[in-house]
Amino acid sequence: MNNNTSEHTITSSGTAGSPALDIDKIRELFPVLHQEVNGQSLVYFDNAATTQKPKPVLDALHDYYTSMNANIHRGVHTLADRATAAFEATRESIRRFINAAEKEEIIFTKGTTDGLNLIAATWGRANIQQGDEIIISALEHHSNIVPWQMLCQEKGATLKVIPIDGNGDIRLEEFEKLLTNKTKLISIVHASNALGTINPIEAVIKKGHEAGAVVVIDGAQASAHITLDVQALDCDFYVFSGHKMYAPTGTGIVYGKRSLLEAMPPYQGGGEMIKEVTFEKTTYNVIPYKFEAGTPNIADIVAFRHGVEFIEMLGRKKIAEYEEQLLSYAKEKLSEVPGLRFIGTAKRKVSVVSFAIEGVHHFDVGMMLDAKGIAVRTGHHCTQPLMRMLGIEGTVRASFSVYNTTAEIDRLAEGLKGIVKMMR
């Protein structure tokens, strides 16, 4: 089965040598978008939670189960060879996508949450001691707070938080004040899922290393929107999920520098992560297999590669430019809604708009938009500490992807105006 879509099918005439994205043809690749919800055509603005899946990804899942379903690595038969080759092809595609030095630095996980817990349970338990300090930011998702809290409680370490300003940007000068000779680890989100803020991770990594700290980057919201080069960034770990970049759920990546991964103890015990087992002693496998115990989520990881290739096929620069246009248009149109207040106004953002409407609860806004066929996210977005810091319970969040359109944003704006009129 041929799962590739040649580039000419998703571009239209533009400037010489740089064709524009053909959004209509891109949308044709996403079957789920072509349905009615509550009697109206679906508008899907919940991409920060999970993106929809293009046909090449869906075809890859079908192809795996119909032509190569077998367990990987240990088999000597033809189907096992096919499955192993397809599985490892995804590892190499991820290495290329983030420009890791070698594919052995790519560890498969269930997602960003699993990856952050892996680092906390392995590097963290082996290296964090009583009196040490870990730094995170006020923008963090619960997945980048709770594992470090648990580690600090276990080890007697201290968790410090970088504050933000009124726009939703971290305060770098305050971050530098938090750094001490006790700082052992910094874990910070690349782009905020709640506000869209893109953090200056280059500066954080540089200052962190100058202080002797290991730096972890949570890239869950950045991987589909921002060109990544982990070698240029010089981060120690970079973690992200497949399902936010057009790939299946239950897939994720931990990138780690070889020297760190080799020194870390295993995450779980069982098959694949062992070299030799006796009842007296076990010797562990080499990286990355040392951290991949048990039968992995093979089919979804095989399909993960096609999500990566979909992004590469469109071009990350073109995606970013188009999503920036959507973000700018949304700010303009939503500013016309009476009583709407934007939450998070950083200058550098991924395509996320969070807002509140005076006198209308965010849950009510979400339910009334759903009645109009428009899917948004409401609530605290797994950032309860951030919401408390902002003095609110939650927001309405509209998050855009490359298959969204300005016409859909018009529907969102008109829907919100109708809600305001009805509620008043």
Residues with catalytic roles: 382
Q: Which two tokens stand for residue 204?
A: 């954080």
What is the Cα–Cα distance from 157 to 132, expressed in whole angstroms?
5
Residue 129 and residue 155 in contact, taking contact as beta carbons nearer than 8 Å: yes
At 214 the three-state DSSP class reads strand
How many whole angstroms from its chain centre is CA 207? 24
At 282 the three-state DSSP class reads strand
Span between the terminal Cα atoms of the chain, in Å: 56
What is the Cα–Cα distance from 223 to 219, expressed in whole angstroms?
6
Residues in Cβ contact with 392 at an 8 Å cutoff, skipping those fewer than 6 apart: 343, 356
Sign of CA dihedral 309, 313, 314, 317: positive
What is the Cα–Cα distance from 403 to 51, expressed in whole angstroms?
10
Longest dimension (CA), the chain: 73
| Angle of CA points 357, 358, 359, to nearest 5° | 115
Residue 346 and residue 357 in contact, taking contact as beta carbons nearer than 8 Å: no
Q: What is the DSSP letter of 337?
A: S
Give CA separation, 368 vs 50, 373, 396, 412, 420, in Å.
21, 9, 12, 11, 11
Residue 231 and residue 102 in contact, taking contact as beta carbons nearer than 8 Å: no
What is the Cα–Cα distance from 395 to 345, expressed in whole angstroms?
14
What is the Cα–Cα distance from 154 to 295, expressed in whole angstroms?
30
Between helix 78-98 and helix 298-314 the angle, nearest 10°, is: 40
Q: Which two tokens stand for residue 233?
A: 């960034």
